[in-house]
Amino acid sequence: MEAAGVVAEASDIFYLTWVDVDAFMRGWWDGTGARALIQDRDAQRQAWLSQQPPDVIVDTSGTVPVTVTGSSIARQIQQKVPGGERVSRAERVLRGTAVAAGKATGPARILRHPAEGHRLNAGEVLVAPSTDPGWTPLFMRAAAIVMEVGGYHSHGAIVAREFGLPAVANVPNVLSILNDGDVITVNGDAGTIVRPS
């Protein structure tokens, strides 16, 4: 295709589909418009590459999406709740996915890696980005688990259920919204984290 002048350079074939290449090789298509097609697909790829991926990818079918704006603890997390009213979640209530039943109250302990586990005291709420087997020993000291990323079948959810700990996962930006020592109530039935007003 490069020799025939259809593409500017051989690596441009990356932007053509198998159907495009097959049609050209069989003589069904002379390559007219290939450069424009390549240019358009490259522009789309560049646009996609410039985007920042979301912290959490969730299926919002049947649920109401959370919108997060700003960059400080005063950020407003707006969510429509049953009954139709709008509630500011940054001040009092954060919502995630309920992954392990029960309710517990205690000071939040934000840990970004299990190596920081020495900072978690008995009865504190473990707040983590997500968990894997390296976090498991910390569950024995925690009163509850909160994870920024995860779902019902994630490691943290499964282990929390095994240990009988309330847990909420998939709480966008919880690591930056909460502070160490914030007294919070984790409701693993409702999927909420409540801070006293």
Residues noted as catalytic: 155
Read off φ and ψ for residue 110, nearest 5 degrees: -90, 120
CA–CA distance from 130 to each of 54, 55, 79, 89, 121 (Å)? 15, 12, 23, 21, 19
Which of 182, 153, 173 lies closest to 75 in space, CA to CA? Answer: 173
- List, in sequence order, the alpha helices (H) in the chain: 18-25, 34-50, 136-139, 155-163, 174-177
